[in-house]
Amino acid sequence: MATAHFDRITVDPRVMNGQPCIRGMRLTVRRVIEALSVYPDRSYLFSEYPELEEEDIRQALAYAAAMLDSSVYELEKAA
Tens-digit pLDDT string for the chain (79 aa): 455 689 999 999 999 999 999 999 999 999 999 999 998 899 999 999 999 999 999 999 999 999 887 777 788 887 6
- Taking the alpha carbons of 23, 28, 31, 33 in that order, is the dihedral positive or negative? positive
DSSP 13: T
- Taking the alpha carbons of 40, 43, 65, 11 in that order, is the dihedral positive or negative? negative
Instruction: Provide the pLDDT for residue 71.
Output: 75
Instruction: Provide the pLDDT for residue 34.
Output: 96
Question: Could you tell me the pTM of the whole model?
Answer: 0.80
* Pair 63, 54: CB distance under 8 Å: no
* Pair 8, 59: CB distance under 8 Å: yes
- Taking the alpha carbons of 24, 26, 21, 57 in that order, is the dihedral positive or negative? negative
Instruction: Provide the pLDDT for residue 1.
Output: 44
Instruction: Provide the pLDDT for residue 69.
Output: 77
Residue-range domains of the chain with CATH:
9-67 (1.10.10.10)
